[in-house]
Amino acid sequence: MSHRDTLAALADARPRSLDPSERPADPALIMAYPRRESATRVARRPVRRLVLAGALPAVALAATGAILLNNTSGPGAPVVQPATSSPVPVDVPTGAGSLLLVAAERSESAPVTAGRYWVVRTEHGDGARRVQDELWLAAVPGLPSVGYVRSADGSWTSRPMRGHTADNNFLLAGSPRSARELAALPTDPAKLTEKLLTWYADTGGVEQRDEFLFNSGAAIVLDLPVSPQVRAAAYRMLAAMPGVTSLGRVADRLGRPGVAVAVSRQGDFGKAQTRLIVDPTTGRALAQESWVAGNPASFTAVITARWSDDGLPEASALR
Amino acid sequence: MAHAEPNERFTALYHAHYHQVYAYAVSRAGRKLADDVVGDTFLVAWRRLDDVPARPLPWLLGVARNVTRERFRDDIRQASLAAELRAWVVETDADIADSVAERAAMLAALAGLSEDDREVLTLTAWQGLSAKDAARVLGCSTATFFVRLHRARKRLEQAMSDAVTVDRHRPARSPEQEYAR
């Protein structure tokens, strides 16, 4: 075969998978980020992931047959806040603060537990795509971690999470952290802020400071294995941040009622907002959502986050 | 063009080159991770919009190359890529029955090459880059790129002929031979 023929034959063999199966996501999602003349190195993963259509955490993604659940609709579904309307901001300075302080109090009284695995079931996505997954994250050295992904028919498939150990399973403040580090977080809100800011320095300041603190606080209350007292401290930290506003009563993308607090940033394209939705009666954080120019962009809704001493389940055993 | 509003410039850039960056990301990191690579690549492009040259593709692919290396743990990327390479052979299009075996053999041979060899070959044959542009993506001189391409091509041909030697008993058919019976 001549050299020219080889390359021509190779060109003929180009796989279809090189062509995206979906239309590209709206570039507005990218343009909502501030432009900076900063370093090009993507040295660390930002705390808030850039989620475009089809881009979901690598460990949780199945290439085909993954999706998912339909939008909540139909008879008997809970009342869902229409996606296109933005709740009127409650412009009371202490509104966000007092909501979060209530959540802090509720959290604080929960019993301290721990276990071999930290098990988190979330539904997340953007646009029309949704994925539900359950991650069994080792919190004790020597155990493997596994992700389970739910397909459209409701059945689960397991995906081993190679390289995931108790030393690096938990992403907080720009870096993977160990269960031990999280257990040692301060229970005083000012000290917690201080600790997070030392980690902020490590990230090279790609994110703005207030956003960083908000995202870190949100991660702590939503789905990280910390003691209830640390969770309460995170709520108190968020309550004291001047840039955090209350959006009043909302429902998350799963239709669960709660109250939202948010930080906003004026991107070049439109307002980019990160929301944390909390159930004030229990103090449980429900979801984190990204909104761009008044429209929902992406979300992560935590369904359960708990300790377990069980062994890893078979995928078929999940309900 | 340099005076257009950043939003318009970026949107045009994004729509013009999204597919190419995606294709490159799949060939380097597998389809599972490709969306993350594409997103981060265009985020860099947005942040450094003034640095993007008038012919943006080599620069974009160079960024994608760095992103792929830095964003994922190597074992995660390798696992995703290995799955992708296997899928290419399995999913080879069966429209044109005659050449499906050849194409599958080509993809299998490609999968057996080193990542660097694969990269120079696919930048040329699948991304359609000129040697000059491909050299820019890899950060080497055009002359070096020619040498690397030549060597990679020879190794691919070697891999193909090794496969044919093993498979010699498979009858070669062509439509002409069928009708000429």
Question: How far A26 CA lies from chain B's nearest CA (Å)?
Answer: 9
Pull the structure tokens for residue A10. Answer: 């190779």
Query: Which residue in A has a C-alpha nearest to residue B34's C-alpha?
Result: A55
Query: How far out from the chain centre does Cα B23 lie?
Result: 6
A12 contacts in B (CB within 8 Å)?
A: 99, 103, 106
pLDDT at A81 over 90: no
Q: How high is the pLDDT of residue B106?
A: 92
Which residue in chain A has the smallest CA separation from B161? Answer: A1
Q: Are A138 and A157 in contact (CB under 8 A)?
A: no
Distance from CA of A9 to the nearest CA of B (A): 8
**For residue A2, what pLDDT band results from cuts at 50, 70 and 90?**
low
Tell me the pLDDT tens digit for each residue of A241-275. 888 988 888 999 999 999 899 998 876 567 888 99
Q: 């690397």: which residue's tokens?
A: B148
pLDDT at B108: 92
- State how beta strands A271-279 and A295-308 pair: unpaired
pLDDT tens-digit readout, A138-162:
999 889 999 999 988 889 999 888 8
Show the DSSP H helices in chain B as ranges.
6-47, 57-71, 74-90, 97-111, 115-125, 131-138, 142-166, 175-179
Residue B83 has pLDDT above 70, yes or no: yes
Structure tokens at A40: 């090009």
Res. A118 pLDDT band, cuts 50 70 90: very high
Question: Which one is predicted more confidently, A132 or A72?
Answer: A132
Which two tokens mark B161?
């002929």
User: In this structure, what token pair is assigned to residue A122?
Assistant: 């979330």
Residue A251, H or E segment: strand A245-251
Per-residue pLDDT of B85-141, as tens digits, reads 999 888 876 655 567 788 888 999 999 999 999 999 999 999 999 999 999 999 898
Work out the pLDDT band at B164, boundaries 50, 70, 90.
low
- B146 and chain A: CB distance < 8 Å anywhere? no
A266 CB within 8 Å of a chain B CB: no
Cβ separation B47–A35 shorter than 8 A: yes
Instruction: Give the Cα separation of A177 and A165 in Å (integer).
Output: 10
**Predicted ipTM beyond 0.85:** no
Quote the pLDDT of residue A268. 59
Residues of B in contact with A131 (CB under 8 A): none
Check pLDDT > 90 for residue B54: no
Question: Which tens digit of pLDDT belongs to each residue from A25-34?
Answer: 888 888 888 7
Identify the pLDDT of residue A312. 92
